[in-house]
């Protein structure tokens, strides 16, 4: 395990941190491409309503089986809502699986601004640790 105290870091510890960070960034870059292709599917009313959403949960397609017209308007609305929610949950699960695989199980936020800030913080911490090592 790598020590948390920058003064206790050895050059090989920093090398390991840099290699791990580079690998994680590479995997996240690959995942960013895959995230654009994520879709989620869901159904309602026993399959009479189907929804397809993109990775952000935006509706791409709603399909209604002709038999759904036998239901009243409230039941149709509920079936469509159920299908969309199920599709959004499916897309969310797929996004989380991709991110978990890319980070080796580490939690990752989909907020790119927050992710950028976190990577900047990591970079700043590494720079300070290297500077501390140079002074010693």
Domain ranges of the chain: 1-36+108-136, 38-105
What is the b/e burial string over 25-51, where b = at least 16 CB atoms within 10 angstroms of the residue's CB? eebbeebeeebeebebebbbbeebbbb
**Mean pLDDT on 91-106:** 82
**Among candidates 14, 85, 17, 24, which has minimal Cα distance to 49?**
85
Cα(22)–Cα(126) distance, rounded to whole angstroms? 13
State pTM to two decimals: 0.61
The residues pairing with 61 across neighbouring beta strands, listed in sequence order, are: 52
Query: What is the reported pLDDT for 2?
Result: 44
CATH pick for 38-105 out of 3.40.640.10, 3.30.470.20, 3.30.1310.10, 3.40.50.720: 3.30.1310.10
Q: 9-44 pLDDT, tens per residue?
A: 677 777 777 777 777 777 777 777 788 899 999 999
């Amino acid at each position: 395990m790598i020590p948390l105290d920058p003064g206790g870091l050895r050059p090989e510890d920093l090398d390991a941190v840099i290699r791990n960070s580079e690998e994680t960034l590479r995997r996240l870059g690959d995942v960013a491409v895959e995230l654009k292709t994520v879709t989620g599917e869901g159904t309602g009313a026993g399959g009479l309503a189907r929804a397809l959403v993109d990775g952000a949960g935006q509706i791409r397609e709603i399909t209604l089986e002709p038999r759904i017209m036998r239901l009243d308007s409230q039941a149709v609305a509920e079936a469509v809502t159920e299908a969309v929610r199920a599709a959004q949950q499916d897309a969310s699960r797929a996004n989380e699986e991709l991110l978990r695989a890319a980070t080796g199980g580490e939690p990752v936020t989909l907020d790119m601004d927050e992710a950028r800030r976190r990577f900047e913080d990591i970079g700043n911490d590494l720079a300070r640790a290297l500077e501390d090592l140079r002074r010693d």
